[in-house]
Amino acid sequence: MLSFRTELENPVVEKEILELDRKIKAYRNGTMPEQYFKSLRLARGIYGQRQKGVQMIRIKLPHGRLTLSQWKRIADISDEYATGKLHLTTRQDIQLHFVSLDKTPDLWAKLAEDKITIREACGNTVRNITGSSFAGIDPEEPFDVTPYAQAAFEYFVRNPICQDMGRKFKIAFSSSDKDKAWSFIHDVGLIPKIKEQDGKTVRGFKVLIGGGLGAQPYLAQEVFDFLEEDIVFPYIEAVIRVFDRYGERTNRMKARMKYLIAKLGLEEFTRLVKEEWKSLKNKHFQIPLVEEEIKLPAIHIQLPAVKINNQQQFERWKRTNIFPQKQSGYFAAGIRVPLGDISTDTSRRLIEKLKPFIADDVRVTPNQGFLLRYIREEHLPYVFSILEEEHVDKAGFDSTADITACPGTDTCNLGISSSTGIAEALEEVIENEFEDLIYNSDIHIKISGCMNSCGQHGIAQIGFHGSSMRSGKLTLPALQILLGGGIIGDGKGRTADKVIKIPSKRGPEALRAILHDYETHKLEFELFNDYYDRMGNKYFYSLLKPLADIENLGESDFIDWGREEQFVPAIGTGECASVVIDLIGALLTDAGEKLGFADEAIEETRIADAIYHAYSAFINTAKALLLDKEIACNTQNGILNDFDRHFSEEKAFSFPKGFREYVLRINQHQPEYDFATAYISSAKEFLENAKIYREEEVAVG
């Protein structure tokens, strides 16, 4: 048995890594069903690639925050286990590709040495907590949301209420009303607010719920214009509990929380949230606002010789990539990272050379770049000279020229056509023909390899998503063009409208047409979305319609960007969320494991966690018995109802007022020791009776 004790300080993490190692071996020797194993590995950040036999590892970085040692650690690990490249994502994670499954426990252990985790980076869990990369330095922020985003990560990671929900769950913290974390596309979006109350300044958040992108974008709905800071986490916990119980689990395409709210209505959803309040582990949760010591660069430091090769580029960079902080005398610098890909060698050299001149607090940004913080004005020339030396000195950070793109068909199972290839082609168009757009921070171009919007095309002023078209018996790669998305502010936003689908190789022509038309016909100071609204969707459809004509296609139209072979759509099974575990034996085994977790939680006086583990055991046991009768189970709420409907006459299962009411005692009691032990005991009895019942049924059968 492997042991990571010498490398890890945290026994909980060591236990998780050992568990992963054991279950990989069980999967390899055939004693663990593939579907059950898939659910487990996804919740550990291990995602199957388009290429067989290798994995993508998603590293969870709360609000995109990295110390320099963590950045170096990830670079070193990529060299050892992956490709010598880091991929920065729109959700502020870092991904490593082409990793062997059997090496993932070692990889995780080495990450943990620098307090980095892959836990719950994928699967039906609370995903990476995202946040404004300017949090803490934003001149317009009411207060720094960094400690709240970090506390949210710590509150929900390993929390039993969100280990295997119907779908993933996303939370974002913006730093100000400018809403640079896009609160309106998240399951829970939070914007900091302050108000005066009894002569004191009180902190709180505007709270929005039920947003999401994908094939059917939904804008989040406001539920509080001001919720006091100590109630925010309990409220989110109650929301997750409702989503876990009532959320869809069979039809994956309808399983996000946005669909549940649409089905129930916001009023009924809110009522169910209130029902959960008694069972919460915390009715108030005040995070400790300890002043954090960030290692800042020395004020007086001897600068090495500065050599700037391109002074004009330096001036452009200062104008577009440098941002004054709220801390007097300090500036932040954005690094454009094309396609979000940076090599490990470049990373290490940047860390080494910049370390004395930047804070030990780097942020991965939602536009797939880096934000360096706390740079003194007199050090800017030196910082630029290093970026120039390493060829990461592009101007236009978060501008029209800074295109966002997911990996698409390079590695993703769901990719339909190339994202990275078309992104590079569009960046060339801007660089060669519209170079002044590096100064435009109004128009953003975003690309996804499919309709799921991992590249966030659904909120772009100009968005593209990968698709395909038929021409006779052949298929060619295509792009769906969308226009008019973006941030309005203070929790309001716009999703982009579909305009037209065109062959992918005509993407650059389409971008030229849109940008030329805007430059020619816009009113003075008219922003792009205002122009789009004034002209209307049909106008842009007519403008681009000639590019949709497939009568005169050339050979190259049937070859995707960056490829040499003829295009053939090859969409695999997506792993954005874990599959429904529909194996009866696996469900009963899982129920037993959850009761083991409940016993551990009781010993550690984590009473609310223990109760929820027992609740999950009740659900999985009932689901196993229903599936044994070939009864579909698409929500936990449905399982509770269906068990009463189909097992009420069975003598093996006798509940005074029915199974549903028996299990939902969880909402009628405070999380106290006596109730917890009784509830766990009844869940164990139910599981044992279920095993006996099933054995008898099998024998009779």
Vertex 656 angle, CA 654 and 657, to 5°: 115
Amino acid identity, position 602: I
Per-residue confidence (pLDDT) for residue 515, from 0 to 100: 98
Tokens coding 560: 């995707």
Count of CB atoms within 10 A of residue 665's CB?
16
Positive or negative, the CA dihedral 462, 465, 466, 469 is negative
pTM of the model: 0.92
Per-residue confidence (pLDDT) for residue 38, from 0 to 100: 85
Q: Are 130 and 63 in contact (CB under 8 A)?
A: yes
DSSP 541: H
Strand blocks (E) in 347-455: 362-364, 370-376, 404-405, 445-448
The rounded Cα 244 to chain-centroid distance in angstroms is 18
Per-residue confidence (pLDDT) for residue 2, from 0 to 100: 43
User: How far is it, in rounded angstroms, from Cα 673 to Cα 680?
Assistant: 11
User: How far is it, in rounded angstroms, from Cα 493 to Cα 182?
Assistant: 8
Amino acid identity, position 529: N
Helical segments of 629-672, H only: 636-647, 659-663
Residue in the block written with tokens 């769950």: 169
Task: Flag residues of the chain having pLDDT under 50.
Answer: 1-7, 578-582
Positive or negative, the CA dihedral 607, 608, 610, 615 is positive
Q: Which domains does the chain have, with CATH numbers?
A: 11-64+82-112 (3.90.480.20), 130-279 (3.30.413.10), 311-389 (3.90.480.10), 404-558 (3.30.413.10), 584-700 (1.20.120.330)
User: How far is it, in rounded angstroms, from Cα 459 to Cα 446?
Assistant: 8
Q: Are 236 and 162 in contact (CB under 8 A)?
A: no
**CA-to-CA dists, residue 193 to 143, 150, 222, 236, 616, angstroms:** 8, 18, 14, 17, 36
Question: How confident is the model over 380-411, as pLDDT tens digits?
Answer: 999 999 999 999 999 999 999 999 999 888 88
Per-residue confidence (pLDDT) for residue 699, from 0 to 100: 66
